[in-house]
Amino acid sequence: MTTTVDHDLTRARRKLDELDRVLRSVRGRLGNTLDIRRVCGDVERLRDSLALLCEHAPQTGLAGPPRPRAELEPLSELPYDPALFADADDEGVGGMRPQRP
């Protein structure tokens, strides 16, 4: 069973390499457009996910015990207290208060 999993993961890696080569060719013809960059980013995320999958794939045909899931932290539905952010600046807009020397 492991041989099949290893074989499938190797095939997936090769397909990602092939897709990467094709995208480089398309990028050369169409230019570095937003769509090309987005798809290339998707391929990189797939490559990272596949690497994680390979890292955690069972080394034998028998799967080990499932890993414990991290506990979720409940989020309050209540609005935040505005006093907590009274002296905070909006990073996207810049400082809202006058600069002091």
Rg (C-alpha) for the chain, rounded Å, is: 24
**pLDDT recorded at residue 72:** 82
pLDDT at residue 57, rounded to an integer: 73
For residue 64, the model assigns a pLDDT of 45
Strand partners, 94: 90
Of 37, 36, 43, the C-alpha closest to 19 is 43
**What would the pLDDT profile of 29-39 be if each residue is shown by its tens digit?**
999 999 999 99
pLDDT score at 80? 84
Which DSSP symbol is given to 9? H
Q: Write the pLDDT tens digit of every residue in 45-87.
A: 999 998 888 887 765 443 445 556 778 888 888 888 888 877 7
pTM: 0.52
